């Protein structure tokens, strides 16, 4: 498959056209054979966007995992790094994230300074992204590792204002994340408020386990829905979720 140049621009164009995208999040700590099986199944279902990374990576397999997914033919492989050790040359791009929902300087700017030179040397496309953690009903790895409080799930206006501030700082992409293993996905009210206020490309992740939850997130304003643990546990949900995306995209006027 052909590598998509300038992935940010590709995704922004899809957003402007109202196109809905499914992204598969792959944990580098997962067994490589299992990752290969999941990736091959996802590609057969038409999934094009693959995120690789996580808040807690213990095995140091990020580079091997990224190369594996790319070698299997994934069109868009984007790093979703929890820390600097996950940066590697095999990806097409990296979500260059600032945790704008928190006040920990390490995740607002510290980690970014630590990785900027390496990303530049590797010629990875950096996608400036406002990362917003949202309360999900339980403490997640992202909350624990970042040592920050998530935005309360019943405060959509706070999430919207946070995203707006990120946009004013030049971020064109917002990633709202309930976290790995979240009990609940992000509410429609919050997604709609963030989208209507910021008009940024909106990514929603965490707690999405079935096609109806994905549909709800897309219809509320998410451009990209991210599925991770649920797909690792049951590959077949990718088929039903991607089918929803295709159905929604058929309703969008073609330019």
Give the pLDDT band (50/70/90) at residue 4: very low
Give the pLDDT confidence score for residue 57 in this predicted structure. Answer: 64
Give the pLDDT confidence score for residue 5 in this predicted structure. Answer: 55
CB 44: neighbour CB atoms within 10 A?
11
Buried b (16+ CB within 10 A) or exposed e, 229-245: bbbbeebebbeebbebb
- Give me the mean pLDDT over the 171-185 stretch: 92
Give the pLDDT confidence score for residue 8 in this predicted structure. Answer: 96
Higher pLDDT, 19 or 180: 19
3-state secondary structure of 156: helix
Q: Is the pLDDT of residue 143 over 70?
A: yes
What residue ranges do the domains of the chain occupy?
A: 7-246
Give the pLDDT confidence score for residue 58 in this predicted structure. Answer: 61
Q: Which two tokens stand for residue 99?
A: 């945790």
Q: Is the pLDDT of residue 211 over 80?
A: yes
Contacts of 27 (CB under 8 A, 6+ apart): 54, 57, 180, 228, 229, 232
Give the pLDDT confidence score for residue 1 in this predicted structure. Answer: 36
Give the pLDDT confidence score for residue 181 in this predicted structure. Answer: 79
Q: Is the pLDDT of residue 55 over 90?
A: no
Which range among 53-57, 152-156, 238-242 shows the weakest confidence by mean pLDDT? 53-57
Q: Is the pLDDT of residue 3 over 50?
A: no
Ramachandran category for residue 116: left, alpha or beta (phi over 0 → left; psi -120 to 50 → alpha): alpha
Q: Is the pLDDT of residue 103 over 60?
A: yes
For 241, phi then psi, to 5°, come to: -70, -40
Give the pLDDT confidence score for residue 2 in this predicted structure. Answer: 41
Torsion of Cα atoms, 226 then 228 then 232 then 236, to 10°:
-20
- Give me the mean pLDDT over the 54-75 stretch: 88
Q: What is the CATH number of domain 7-246?
A: 3.20.20.390
Give the pLDDT confidence score for residue 254 in this predicted structure. Answer: 60
Which range among 22-36, 62-76, 95-109, 240-254 shows the weakest confidence by mean pLDDT? 240-254
Contacts of 61 (CB under 8 A, 6+ apart): 28, 29, 32
- Give me the mean pLDDT over the 208-233 stretch: 97
Alpha helices in the chain (DSSP H): 7-16, 32-44, 62-71, 105, 111-122, 141-146, 156-168, 188-198, 211-220, 229-233, 237-250
For 217, phi then psi, to 5°, come to: -65, -45
Q: Is the pLDDT of residue 78 over 70?
A: yes
Give the pLDDT confidence score for residue 56 in this predicted structure. Answer: 67
Numbers of helices and strands, H then E, in the chain: 11, 8
For 231, phi then psi, to 5°, come to: -75, -35
Give the pLDDT confidence score for residue 255 in this predicted structure. Answer: 52
């Amino acid at each position: 498959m052909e590598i998509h140049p300038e992935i940010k621009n590709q995704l922004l164009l899809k957003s402007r056209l109202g196109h809905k995208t499914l992204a598969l999040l792959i944990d580098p700590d997962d067994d490589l054979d299992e990752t290969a099986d999941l990736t091959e199944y996802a590609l057969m279902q038409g999934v094009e966007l693959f995120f690789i990374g996580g808040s807690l990576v213990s095995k140091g397999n990020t580079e091997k995992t990224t190369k594996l997914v790319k070698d299997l033919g994934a069109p868009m492989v984007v790093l979703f790094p929890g820390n600097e050790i996950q940066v590697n040359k095999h990806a097409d791009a990296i979500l260059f994230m600032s945790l704008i929902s928190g006040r920990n300087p390490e995740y607002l700017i510290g980690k970014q300074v630590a990785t900027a030179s390496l990303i530049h040397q590797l010629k990875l496309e950096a996608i400036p992204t406002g990362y917003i953690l949202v309360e999900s009903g339980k403490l997640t790895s992202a909350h624990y590792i970042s040592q920050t409080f998530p935005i309360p799930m019943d405060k959509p206006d706070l999430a919207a204002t946070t995203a707006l501030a990120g946009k004013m700082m030049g971020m064109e992409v917002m990633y709202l994340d309930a976290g790995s293993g979240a009990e609940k996905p992000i509410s429609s009210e919050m997604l709609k408020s963030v989208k209507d206020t910021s008009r940024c490309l909106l990514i929603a992740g965490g707690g999405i386990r079935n096609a109806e939850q994905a549909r709800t997130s897309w219809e509320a304003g998410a451009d990209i829905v991210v599925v991770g643990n649920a797909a690792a546990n049951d590959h077949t949900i990718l088929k039903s979720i991607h089918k929803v995306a295709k159905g929604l995209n058929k309703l969008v006027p073609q330019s």
